[in-house]
C-alpha cells in the first residue's frame, strides 16, 4: 500500500463538542488509523485534530492549517483520514487541500472509502465522495432550516439564549421550555433604548457605558457598536419572533423575513420602540464625503495595550485660511468598537508608521535576514524530494553489488569443479537478467536525481526573487499591496509608548516567522 520508509500523519475532526468524546469519536478515529498504520508497518509521526469544528469550509480550522504547514516542511509522506468528510465537506476545499498536499509530495489515504490519492481510481473515488459529502451537508442544513422555520411561523421561540434580557428555562410540562425575563438585564435593555432615543447617545457611547459597568453580552463578550445596534433593532423586545419567508414572496434572491407574535412578554413599549426606529433612520445617513486613503497595515498592526488590530481613523485641524487639514491615524479597533471602557485610542500617525514599516521590511528582504532561512528552506525541500530517490538508489546499488558477487562466486565454483556447465548456464542467465534490471533501475534513479538537482533554485535566483518582492511591495495598487503584506507579515507589535524604534515586525510562515526589529537589522 505504502512505500517502505513512508511516514504517516493522521487528521481527525468532529463537528460537535459532544462528538469529541462520544460515538465514533476522535479516539475511535485514532484507533482505526493507528491499526491501519501498524498493519502497514509505517510510523504514525503526527496527529492533527479539530474538535467541535464544522467541515463546511476550510477556514478557522487550526488543525488543517498546521497540517498543511507541516506538509510543506516535509514532516510526513502520507495523510490518513477516517473519511473524506472529516477532511472537508466542501468539494472545492477538498480539491484545494489534496492539490496542496500533492505539491508537497504527500499522499492522501481514506480508511472508509479505501482510496489512495496517488492512483487514478483513487482520485476518481475522492471526487465522487467529496461531491456526495457536500450534498449531504447541504441536505441536512436545509432540513434543519425548514424545521426551525415552521416552528417560528407558529410563534415558537427560536432565539435560544441569545437575546439579552430573556432566558429559555427548562419546563417539565413543556418540552420547548419557557421564556422568562431576566429582571436585571431587562432593566439595562430599557436603559439602552432610552439613552439612544432620549439622551441622543450613539452606539459606541452606549457600549462604553455598559462596559464600564462590567456588563457582558449573553455570549460573555464586551458590548460593541454591532451588539448595541442589534439590540436597538431586535423586535424580540416587542414580544415577537422572526421567521423566514419560504420562498421569498417578492421573488428576489435576497432572504426575506417576517415577524409574528411570540411566547415572550415584551420589554419595550411600542411608543419607545417607534421613537428609537425613527431616530435610527434619521441618524443612519451615509456620510456625504468618505475618506479614500488606503491603510495597508490594517489587520497586522496591533494595539500596544490590548493586542487587538488597529483600524483607520482621522481628525480635522482648522487652517488659518478657513480650510481643514485631515490627519490620518491608526487607532485601536477595540476602543473604536467598544468605547473607552475597554481600551485606549492609542493613535499613531499613519504616514509615520507606514514609512517605518516599508523601510524595515525592505531592509530585511534585501539582507541576510530573509535570504538565509529561505535558502535553507529551498535546500530542505530538495532534500525532502530526493530522500526517497536516495533510499531507493542505495537499495538498488546494494542489490546490484550482491548480484555481481553471486555471479563471481558461481564462476569460481565452476572453475573448481563444484558446479557443472548446465547448472552454471541456468543460474548465470537468471542472475544476468537481474543484473540488467538493477542496472536499468539504477540508471533511472540517477537520472531522476540529476534532474532534481538541475531544478534546484540557486542563491542568485533567491536573491532575484526577493528583489522582485521588494519591487512588488512598492508598486502594487492598494488592495494588492495589502494582500501582499498580509501574506508576508503576521503582525506588527508596538510598545506602550508607541516608539517605532522598539516595534517588532513578525514574519508570517511565508517569511519563516522571523522577527524584524532594529536589533536584528
**The CATH number of the domain where 263 resides is what?**
3.90.1750.20
If one counts the domains in the chain, the total is 2
pLDDT one-digit tens code per residue, 326-339: 999 999 999 999 98
Q: What are phi and psi of 259, to 5 degrees?
A: -130, 145
Sign of CA dihedral 145, 146, 149, 150: negative
333 and 311 in contact (C-beta within 8 Å)? yes
Q: Is residue 58 assigned to a domain?
A: yes
Nearest partner of 241 among 143, 150, 146, judged by Cα: 150
C-alpha cell of residue 329: 491615524
Residue 102 pLDDT exceeds 60: yes
Q: Are residues 62 and 96 in the same domain?
A: yes
Do 14 and 135 sit in the same domain of this protein? yes
Say yes or no: 78 and 182 in one domain. no
Report the 10 Å Cβ neighbour count for 213: 11
Domain that residue 197 falls in? 166-283
Percent of the chain with pLDDT over 70: 82
| pLDDT exceeds cutoff 50 at 157 | yes
Same domain? For 133 and 240 the reply is no
Q: Are 15 and 96 in a shared domain?
A: yes
Contact by Cβ (8 Å): 475, 387: no
Domain boundary among 252, 283, 314: 283
User: How many alpha carbons fall within 13 Å on the CB side of residue 305?
Assistant: 15
Claim to verify: residue 195 and residue 257 sit in the same structural domain: yes
Question: Looking at residue 457, what DSSP letter applies?
Answer: P
Q: How far is CA 318 from CA 330, 345, 352, in A?
A: 21, 22, 21
Give residue-wise pLDDT tens across range 123-144: 555 555 555 555 555 555 555 5
Q: Do 125 and 227 belong together in one domain?
A: no
Same domain, 135 and 193: no
Residue 23 has pLDDT above 50, yes or no: no
Per-residue cell: 302: 496591533
For the ranges 168-177, 251-260, 271-280, 382-391, the lowest mean pLDDT is seen at 251-260
Q: How far apart are CA 507 and CA 411, in angstroms?
A: 65
**473 within a domain of the structure (yes/no):** no
Q: What does the pLDDT read at residue 22?
A: 41
In this predicted model, which residue has the larger pLDDT, 369 or 481?
Answer: 481
468, part of any domain: no
Mark whether 13 and 124 lie in a shared domain: yes
Query: What per-residue confidence (pLDDT) applies to 238?
Result: 94
- Length of the chain equals 521
What CATH number is attached to the domain comprising 59? Answer: 3.40.50.1390
Interval 161-188 mean pLDDT:
84
> Whole-angstrom Cα distance, residue 108 to residue 78?
6
Question: How many other C-beta atoms can be found within 10 angstroms of the C-beta atom of residue 364?
Answer: 24
- Closest residue by Cα to residue 337 from 449, 229, 414: 229
CB 46 within 8 A of CB 11: no
Residue 33 falls inside a structural domain: yes
Environment class of 47 (CB within 10 Å of its CB; exposed 0-12, middle 13-18, buried 19+): middle
Q: What is the CA radius of gyration of the chain?
A: 33
Q: Is residue 339 part of a domain?
A: no
| Chain segment 367-395, per-residue pLDDT in tens | 777 788 878 877 887 788 788 888 888 98
Measure the CA dihedral 380/382/385/386, to 10°: -110
Stretch 268-285: mean pLDDT: 91
Examine residue 471 and state whether it is found in any structural domain, yes or no.
no
In a domain, residue 63? The reply is yes
In order, the DSSP letters of 333-379 are: HHHHHH-TTT-----EEHHHHHHHHHHHHHHHHHSHHHHHHHHHHHH
* 14 and 124, same domain (yes or no): yes
Q: Say if residues 47 and 16 touch (Cβ distance below 8 Å).
A: no
> Could you tell me if 216 and 102 lie in one domain?
no
pLDDT at residue 2 in the model: 57
Strand blocks (E) in 432-485: none
Q: How confident is the model at residue 147 (pLDDT cuts 50, 70, 90)?
A: low
Q: Quote the CA–CA distance of 483 and 472 in Å, as a whole number.
A: 11
User: Same domain for 14 and 76?
Assistant: yes
Query: Is residue 511 one of the residues assigned to a domain?
Result: no
Q: Is the pTM of this model over 0.85?
A: no
List Cα–Cα distances, 509 to 65, 177, 399, 493, 514, in angstroms.
11, 49, 42, 17, 8
Amino acid at each position: 500500500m505504502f512505500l517502505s520508509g513512508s511516514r504517516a500523519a493522521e487528521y481527525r475532526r468532529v463537528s460537535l463538542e459532544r462528538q469529541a468524546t462520544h460515538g465514533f469519536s476522535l479516539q475511535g478515529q485514532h484507533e482505526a488509523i493507528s491499526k491501519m498504520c501498524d498493519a502497514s508497518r509505517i510510523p504514525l509521526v503526527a496527529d492533527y485534530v479539530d474538535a467541535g469544528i464544522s467541515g463546511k469550509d476550510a477556514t478557522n480550522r487550526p488543525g488543517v492549517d498546521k497540517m498543511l504547514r507541516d506538509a510543506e516542511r516535509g514532516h510526513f509522506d502520507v495523510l490518513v483520514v477516517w473519511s473524506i468528510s472529516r477532511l472537508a465537506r466542501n468539494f472545492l476545499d477538498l480539491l484545494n487541500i489534496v492539490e496542496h498536499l500533492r505539491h508537497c509530495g504527500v499522499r492522501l489515504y481514506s480508511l472508509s472509502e479505501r482510496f489512495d490519492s496517488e492512483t487514478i481510481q483513487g482520485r476518481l473515488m475522492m471526487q465522487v465522495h467529496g461531491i456526495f459529502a457536500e450534498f449531504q451537508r447541504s441536505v441536512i442544513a436545509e432540513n434543519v432550516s425548514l424545521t426551525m422555520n415552521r416552528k417560528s411561523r407558529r410563534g415558537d421561540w427560536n432565539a435560544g439564549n441569545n437575546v439579552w434580557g430573556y432566558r429559555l428555562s427548562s419546563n417539565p410540562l413543556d418540552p420547548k421550555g419557557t421564556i422568562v425575563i431576566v429582571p436585571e438585564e431587562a432593566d439595562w435593555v430599557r436603559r439602552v433604548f432610552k439613552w439612544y432615543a432620549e439622551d441622543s447617545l450613539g452606539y459606541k457611547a452606549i457600549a462604553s457605558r455598559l462596559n464600564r459597568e462590567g456588563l457582558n453580552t449573553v455570549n460573555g463578550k464586551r458590548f460593541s457598536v454591532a451588539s448595541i445596534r442589534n439590540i436597538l433593532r431586535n423586535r424580540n423586545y416587542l414580544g415577537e419572533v422572526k421567521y423566514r419567508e419560504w420562498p421569498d414572496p417578492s421573488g428576489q434572491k435576497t432572504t426575506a423575513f417576517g415577524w409574528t407574535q411570540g411566547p415572550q412578554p415584551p420589554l419595550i413599549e411600542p411608543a419607545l420602540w417607534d421613537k428609537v426606529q425613527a431616530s435610527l433612520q434619521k441618524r443612519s445617513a451615509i456620510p456625504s464625503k468618505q475618506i479614500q486613503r488606503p491603510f495597508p497595515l490594517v489587520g497586522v498592526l496591533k494595539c500596544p495595550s490590548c493586542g487587538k488590530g488597529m483600524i483607520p481613523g482621522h481628525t480635522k485641524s482648522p487652517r488659518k485660511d478657513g480650510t481643514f487639514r485631515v490627519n490620518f491615524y491608526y487607532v485601536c479597533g477595540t476602543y473604536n468598537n467598544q468605547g473607552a471602557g475597554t481600551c485606549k485610542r492609542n493613535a499613531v500617525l499613519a504616514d509615520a508608521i507606514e514609512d517605518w514599516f516599508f523601510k524595515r521590511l525592505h531592509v530585511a528582504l534585501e539582507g541576510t535576514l530573509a535570504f538565509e532561512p529561505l535558502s535553507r528552506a529551498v535546500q530542505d525541500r530538495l532534500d525532502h524530494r530526493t530522500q526517497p530517490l536516495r533510499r531507493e538508489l542505495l537499495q538498488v546499488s546494494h542489490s546490484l553489488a550482491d548480484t555481481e558477487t553471486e555471479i563471481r562466486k558461481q564462476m569460481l565454483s565452476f572453475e573448481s569443479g563444484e558446479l557443472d556447465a548446465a547448472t552454471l548456464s541456468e543460474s548465470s542467465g537468471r542472475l544476468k537478467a537481474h543484473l540488467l534490471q538493477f542496472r536499468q533501475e539504477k540508471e533511472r534513479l540517477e537520472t531522476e536525481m540529476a534532474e532534481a538537482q538541475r531544478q534546484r533554485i540557486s542563491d542568485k535566483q533567491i536573491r532575484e526573487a526577493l528583489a522582485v518582492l521588494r519591487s512588488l511591495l512598492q508598486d502594487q495598487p492598494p488592495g494588492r499591496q495589502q494582500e501582499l503584506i498580509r501574506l508576508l507579515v503576521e503582525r506588527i507589535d508596538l510598545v506602550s509608548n508607541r516608539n517605532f524604534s522598539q516595534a517588532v515586525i513578525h514574519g508570517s510562515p511565508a517569511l519563516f516567522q522571523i522577527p524584524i526589529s532594529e536589533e536584528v537589522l
